Amino acid sequence: MDKISVLISEEEVCKRIKEIADVISDKFKGEEVHLLCILKGSIFFTCELAKRITIPVTIDFMQVSSYGSGTKSSGVITIKKDLDESVEGKNVVIIEDIIDSGNTLKTLKLEIEKRNPKSLMIVTLLDKPDRREVDVKVDITGFVIPDKFVVGFGLDYDQRYRNLPYIGVVEI
């Protein structure tokens, strides 16, 4: 069993998600927003966020991978599951669990921009700016965290620990 220490409590995560939902609701007031959940890690964040947004919401899913087994990005970015619906003319909010190197998000952003959304916003629960390799604009960040390997609230270590209700650091 891996040793995990709490970095961000469940209460802190839920409070910040409500704040993010309020910002999105205000920005798109009177309109509909299309949440683009990046699987698998963003599923918990997307669900909690969607419940708190006060305007009409639609949700779609995309799976993009840059990780192999373990804790390091492979550097190769592939779309494993594409969208089910067009985003053309929609207010799209890309929901990420964590931004590390920025490579995956940059590739994803370019791909979505090609599909002509009305607007595009990027929201991440966690950001590790110390690991950034490419410049990518994030509109809303939940928490800036140190360069530690984190799990919980959708984030995993070899597919384990996604179900933890908090963000924890795995001591490897």
The structural domains of the chain, with segments of one domain joined by +, span: 9-145
Burial class (CB in 10 A: 0-12, 13-18, 19+), 55: middle
Task: Report the pLDDT value the prediction gives residue 74, as an integer from 0 to 100.
Answer: 57
- CATH code that applies to domain 9-145: 3.40.50.2020
- State the catalytic residue, choosing from 22, 60, 84, 100: 100
Residues 119-160 pLDDT 10s: 999 999 999 998 899 999 999 999 999 999 999 999 999 999
In angstroms, the CA 118 to CA 11 distance is 34
Residues 6-47 pLDDT 10s: 999 999 999 999 999 999 999 999 999 999 999 999 999 999
Task: Report the pLDDT value the prediction gives residue 73, as an integer from 0 to 100.
Answer: 57
Name the pLDDT band for 93 (thresholds 50, 70, 90): very high
Is 97 labeled as catalytic in the residue annotation? Answer: no
